[in-house]
Structure 1
Amino acid sequence: MWKWMIGVFVTMMIVSTACSSKGDKATQDPKQQTSFMQPIEVGIQVPSQLEPKKEYVLQVHLQQGKAAIDDASDVQFEIWKKDQLNKGKKIKAQHEQNGVYTVKNSFPGDGVYYIQTHVTAHGMHVMPVKMVVVGHVSEQELKSETDQPSHQMNGSGHHH
């Protein structure tokens, strides 16, 4: 009788151990668990020289940790001329590959413009802004922009 009870007990222990080891891989893999807790890194990339009325491809590169984000739920570019935020336009970005999303855009005239990306991915929303100069801009106009302090004018951003 004792042998039978010990046999049942050992069998129960083996079955319960086997069942508990078949968990969700996300809860077992610390790398996977922490990747969604890392901030989203956003790099806005534009050509160094921009001229009015020419079409350009604007890019944003998304990364979380060392992994490219190819499954963002929403990526949009918002573009406006200095002092004309209410006249800005939003363009939905297309996913290319390796965390790169693009839009095509032309700028109507010379001036200082702002490009803000609206990125929603992995439960986070990030909105970095980059200032760009299109065509010919006076030194005074450019200086008035660069003198204004801003914490998001560097073209990259993240959200905790």
Structure 2
Amino acid sequence: MNKTLIKLFLGTLLIITLAACTNNDSNADDQEEELATLDVELQVSEAIEVNEKLEMKAAVTYGDEPVPDAEEVEYEVWEEGQKDNSILIEATNHEDGSYTAETTFEKDGIFHVQVHVTAEGLHTMPKQEVTVGDGGNYPDAESGEDGENEHNHESDDNDDGDSHHHSEGFTMEFTELESVSINKQFPLEVNLTMDGEVLSAADVNFEIWSEENSDQHEWVSAEETKPGNYTTTYQFSEKGIYNIQIHVENEDGLHEHEQYEITVE
């Protein structure tokens, strides 16, 4: 009888141990999935000659794995100050996580190349400036009116960052974060209105970077959870001062952005 009870006890203990291990593995997988981010390395020459072929390449990864089946990869190209006249070039998928396209420029100037990538339910759009020939002549460059975002920038004590004059009737209200710490998901939320009415069906993205790593920008796409309200979450991995720039676009040609600064402790 004692041997039977011992065998029963040991069998039960083994089952509990195996279940715990399985659960831990599952939690670890879930945590790894939550921490995975969509990264795009845009590879474009910074300077070329007139009529020289510009090769554009985007290496897309999710976590540590290449993404061979992105939903959309498209290149947008425009001349300094001519964002409204940009051209779109569909990328070729090489099914190994790389997406390429080519273009040429017929005159000297400063041009911008931005790749729009949608994959794994996320959207990111890194950008690179390209100098063609001698760079052309842009008399407004010294005054800061580079035309890249078609807004006049000025300092504003309300947003601790890069503010500009919005399109008439447009308002953006960002729910600022308080007591932000590392390794915890925090909500990012913004409410949009146009002419006093909620602005729906907009493309909203949060561009995030730290002061210490200003050359590494991460893009997080927001979803419209209710009319005019766009939300997502983000996890800060290091302490420091971060910039959050909110980009808003829609099919009617709206293109707005506003920047905020937060401290992660």
TM-score by length of 2: 0.44
Distance 1:148 1:72, change over 3 A: farther
**Are 2:155 and 1:158 aligned?**
no
Q: In structure 2, which of residues 52, 55, 58 is the aligned counterpart of residue 57 of structure 1?
A: 55
Who is 1:111 aligned against?
109
Structure 2 counterpart of 1:94, one-letter code:
T
Who is 1:78 aligned against?
76
Give deviations 1:16-59, integer Å, cap 9, x for gaps.
xx9xx999x976635x842x543322221123431122222211
Q: Secondary structure at the match of 1:52?
A: coil
Output the CA distance in 1 between the equivalents of 2:216 and 2:43. Answer: 9
The structural deviation recorded for 1:141 is: 4.1
Alignment of 1:135-146 (within 5 A): 135-137=133-135, 141=138, 144=141
Output the CA distance in 2 between the equivalents of 1:108 and 1:83. Answer: 17
Structure 1 counterpart of 2:79, one-letter code:
K
Contact preservation (8 Å) 2:52, 2:105: yes
Higher strand share: 2
Give deviations 1:50-98, integer Å, cap 9, x for gaps.
1122222211122233x24323431111000011111111111112254
Segment of structure 1 superposing worse, 82-91 or 96-105: 96-105
Larger Rg: 1
Distance 1:99 1:48, change over 3 A: same
Q: Secondary structure at the match of 1:29?
A: helix
Alignment of 1:14-25 (within 5 A): none
**Are 2:33 and 1:38 aligned?**
no
Structure 2 counterpart of 1:120, one-letter code:
T
Q: In structure 2, which of residues 99, 102, 107 is the aligned counterpart of residue 101 of structure 1?
A: 99
Distance 1:33 1:116, change over 3 A: same
Output the CA distance in 1 between the equivalents of 2:55 and 2:81. Answer: 24
Unaligned 5+ residue runs, structure 2?
Answer: 1-17, 150-161, 163-206, 208-213, 220-233, 235-265
Structure 1 counterpart of 2:135, one-letter code:
V
Moved >6 Å (runs of 4+): 25-28, 147-152
Give deviations 1:118-158, integer Å, cap 9, x for gaps.
011111101122111011125x749937x679998x88642
Who is 2:199 aligned against?
none
Unaligned 5+ residue runs, structure 1?
Answer: 1-17
Structure 2 counterpart of 1:85, one-letter code:
K
Output the CA distance in 2 between the equivalents of 1:62 and 1:83. Answer: 29
Output the CA distance in 1 between the equivalents of 2:45 and 2:56. Answer: 8
Q: In structure 2, which of residues 121, 124, 143 is the aligned counterpart of residue 123 of structure 1?
A: 121
Output the CA distance in 2 between the equivalents of 1:155 and 1:109. Answer: 29
Contact preservation (8 Å) 2:68, 2:95: no
Report the RMSD for the aligned CA atoms in angstroms: 3.9
Structure 2 counterpart of 1:128, one-letter code:
P
Distance 1:43 1:114, change over 3 A: same
Output the CA distance in 2 between the equivalents of 1:157 and 1:80. Answer: 21
Contact preservation (8 Å) 1:41, 1:62: yes
Output the CA distance in 1 between the equivalents of 2:26 and 2:115. Answer: 30
Who is 1:29 aligned against?
29
Q: Secondary structure at the match of 2:106?
A: coil
